């Protein structure tokens, strides 16, 4: 990235699953699910790969795509010493089942296997409106099927159950109450067949909205008879609901696309792990979450939303559901006024996340971040180079000084806020030029790791800097006296390379690291005297680290549900090397200078974030 050696500067997150880590995780057993795993349920449409099976050295089949760190992979992943491995289920984050990839492969559906990558999807081999997507590096294609179809080429028709408002795959069995008869149904290639079956009364009633419950004796499945106007296995779907009231917490309609037109992931998708789903949300059914892909608001957001797939990464968006018009009555409330009502005190909104995920302690490695979970992240495009930074107020970014080592022209710097995928603008992003960048008074470009901090002032657009949204808001600055105990878990984030000699960037990635005692980091076997005052170390023995491309990004530590900018990604020895933690600029040593610079003309500035 810069002329300086990688071992000196510019570090980023890397999730390097070592062979030892894989062996440790491989002993974990599979979890059972109400719905069999398979990529046909990873979106509201079905995706089926046709071409070759990839086997492990034990002869077991690799499952593609599989989830690792919130990202989908369509091929074996290379770890140290060139060894390749794959997941044996579609969700490695959850199941931790894996194997070493064999060089042998087994062809299946050979009629669809095409050597020429240019002709993989031309003509389209997918039937019934299926969309073909080629995977050139494995020389095969993928059919994304409409909800009603399945099969390698979307050639098989699923069975639609109107009482549940969903399609069942071939071979699936379900129960229902139809015309007061309790029935057991099965889907086959010839369609659905239902037969009356024996039942008993329910001890507890899971059916909502005054639905009637029965238990099928053979399967012990609870089935519901819903009142008019309600559908779904538990009577918690209202097809006639065309808009949402207030924030949409009680919305139970059937919209399943986002504002951008992207289809929603089912809330029980087999690719979910630490997202809000039927497995992680308490009282999921009461919050509207179920075996469907309809938009909901289980976390009391501002409107209904859903999870989506964005460039192979699990993300989320607000849904294309209109707000119900407000109903005003003609009656006027009596005026009882004496003293004016005092304005509510303004609470600080710095450091507040918008995570859309449930904390899971098991993943300590780098993982794909959810949109809005680090809204203070700033992407700095400096000519042909790239750095990260942290938004601390509407007009100011904190970054690393060595990002500006070449003294770039102001016109060559572009700052993007709200960015999730590298160099990808969306409706959630805001882009600015810069007015100036400022080094610390004692910064010396011949010793770029010392006092490695810079302030960047955004150039206003129409008289304003950053506008606060769910995806853009500042991180909190610590007080000079603030400290976090040694071994505290903090978070690093960025878009940088995923390996030491990488040459590509990624979607926003996050990782957990622990603060390392100063005496350990400055010991001769680690960094010795290279660690100076104003620096701190953090790392993890799960191979999470920073690498090229994420210099200037935050080391964020949390207190009282607010994130504080405790460190700035600065330098280290390589990326993710054993015994070589990341070194960060310690922000508490510079917070007095930060406040002095950013508040010089505060009285004359307009209010921002």
Contact 509, 493 (CB under 8 A): yes
Cα distance between residue 141 and residue 157, in whole Å: 20
Q: Which of 402, 420, 451, 497 is catalytic?
A: 402
Is 74 one of the catalytic residues?
Answer: no
Cα distance between residue 537 and residue 394, in whole Å: 29
Contact 544, 525 (CB under 8 A): no
Nearest partner of 366 among 579, 513, 556, judged by Cα: 513
Task: Identify the residue whose tokens are 């770029």.
Answer: 448
Q: Token pair for residue 26?
A: 């491989």
Q: Which helix (H) or strand (E) holds 592?
A: helix 591-598
Q: Token pair for residue 300?
A: 């009391």
Contact 193, 178 (CB under 8 A): no
Is 452 one of the catalytic residues?
Answer: yes
C-alpha to C-alpha distances, 571 to 378, 504, 551, nearest whole angstrom: 19, 19, 8
Question: Distance between terminal CA atoms of the chain?
Answer: 32
Q: Which of 301, 452, 545, 550 is catalytic?
A: 452
Contact 569, 555 (CB under 8 A): yes
Q: How many CB atoms lie within 10 A of CB 568?
A: 27
Cα distance between residue 408 and residue 396, in whole Å: 18
Contact 369, 310 (CB under 8 A): no
Q: Which of 507, 551, 563, 570 is catalytic?
A: 551
Nearest 5°: the CA angle 575, 579, 580 is 40
Cα distance between residue 288 and residue 447, in whole Å: 57
Is 354 one of the catalytic residues?
Answer: no
Q: Which helix (H) or strand (E) holds 377?
A: strand 377-382
Nearest 5°: the CA angle 42, 43, 47 is 75
C-alpha to C-alpha distances, 455 to 107, 115, 222, nearest whole angstrom: 57, 53, 60
Classify residue 123 as exposed, middle or buried by CB count within 10 Å of its CB (0-12, 13-18, 19+). Answer: exposed
Phi/psi of residue 231, nearest 5 degrees = -140, 180
C-alpha to C-alpha distances, 570 to 530, 534, 581, 588, nearest whole angstrom: 13, 11, 11, 15
The 3-state secondary structure of 72-96, one letter per residue: EECCCEECHHHCEEEECCCEHHHHC
Please, which residues bridge with residue 84 across strands? 78
Cα distance between residue 145 and residue 50, in whole Å: 13
User: Among all residues, which ones are annotated catalytic?
Assistant: 402, 452, 551
């Amino acid at each position: 990235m810069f002329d300086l050696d990688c071992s000196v500067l510019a570090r980023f997150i890397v999730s390097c699953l070592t062979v030892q880590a894989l062996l440790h995780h491989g002993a974990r057993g599979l979890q059972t699910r109400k719905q069999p795993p398979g990529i046909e349920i990873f979106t509201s449409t079905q995706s089926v790969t046709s071409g070759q099976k990839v086997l492990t050295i034990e002869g077991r089949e690799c499952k593609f795509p599989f989830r690792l760190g919130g990202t989908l992979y369509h091929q074996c992943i290379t770890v140290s010493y060139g060894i390749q491995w794959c997941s044996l289920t579609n969700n490695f984050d959850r199941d931790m089942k894996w194997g070493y990839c064999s060089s042998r492969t087994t062809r299946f559906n050979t009629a669809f296997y095409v050597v020429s990558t240019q002709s993989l999807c031309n003509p389209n081999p997918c039937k019934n409106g299926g969309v073909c997507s080629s995977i050139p590096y494995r020389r095969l294609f993928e059919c994304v099927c409409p909800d009603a179809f399945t099969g390698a080429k979307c050639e098989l028709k699923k069975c639609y159950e109107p009482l549940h408002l969903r399609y069942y795959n071939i071979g699936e069995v379900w129960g229902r109450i139809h015309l007061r008869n309790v029935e057991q149904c099965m889907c086959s290639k010839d369609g659905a067949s239902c037969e009356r079956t024996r039942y008993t009364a329910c001890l507890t009633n899971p059916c909502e909205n005054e639905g009637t419950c029965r238990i099928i004796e053979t399967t012990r499945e609870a089935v519901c008879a819903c009142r008019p106007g309600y559908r779904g296995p538990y009577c918690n779907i209202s097809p006639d609901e065309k808009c949402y009231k207030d924030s949409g917490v009680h919305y139970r309609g059937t919209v399943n696309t986002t504002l951008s037109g992207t289809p929603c992931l089912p809330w029980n998708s087999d690719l979910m792990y630490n997202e809000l789903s039927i497995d992680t949300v308490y009282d999921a059914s009461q919050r509207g979450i179920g075996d469907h892909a309809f938009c909901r608001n289980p976390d009391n957001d501002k409107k209904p939303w859903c999870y989506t797939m964005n460039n192979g990464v699990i993300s989320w968006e607000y849904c294309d559901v209109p707000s119900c018009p407000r109903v005003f009555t003609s009656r006027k409330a009596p005026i009882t006024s004496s003293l004016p009502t005092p304005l509510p005190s303004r609470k600080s909104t710095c450091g507040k996340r918008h995570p859309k995920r449930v904390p899971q302690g098991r993943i300590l490695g780098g993982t794909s971040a959810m949109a809005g979970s680090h809204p203070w992240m700033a992407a700095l495009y400096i000519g042909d180079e790239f750095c990260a930074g942290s938004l601390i107020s509407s007009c100011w970014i904190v970054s690393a000084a060595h990002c500006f080592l070449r003294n770039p022209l102001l016109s060559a710097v572009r700052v993007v806020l709200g960015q999730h995928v590298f160099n990808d603008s969306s409706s959630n992003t805001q882009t600015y030029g810069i007015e100036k960048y400022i080094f610390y008074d004692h910064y010396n470009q011949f010793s770029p790791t010392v006092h490695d901090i810079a302030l960047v002032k955004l150039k206003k657009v129409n008289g304003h800097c950053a506008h606060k949204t769910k995806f853009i808001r500042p991180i909190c600055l610590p007080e000079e006296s603030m400290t976090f105990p040694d071994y505290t878990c903090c978070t690093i984030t960025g878009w940088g390379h995923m390996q030491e000699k990488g040459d590509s960037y990624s979607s926003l990635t996050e990782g957990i690291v622990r603060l390392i005692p100063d005496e350990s980091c400055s010991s001769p076997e680690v960094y010795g005297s290279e660690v100076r005052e104003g620096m701190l170390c953090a790392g993890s023995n799960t191979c999470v680290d920073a690498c090229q491309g994420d210099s200037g990004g935050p080391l964020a530590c949390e207190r009282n549900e607010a994130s504080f900018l405790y460190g700035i990604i600065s330098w280290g020895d390589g990326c993710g090397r054993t015994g070589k933690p990341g070194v960060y600029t310690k922000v508490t040593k510079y917070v007095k200078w930060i406040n002095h610079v950013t508040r010089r003309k505060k009285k004359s500035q307009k209010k921002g974030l």
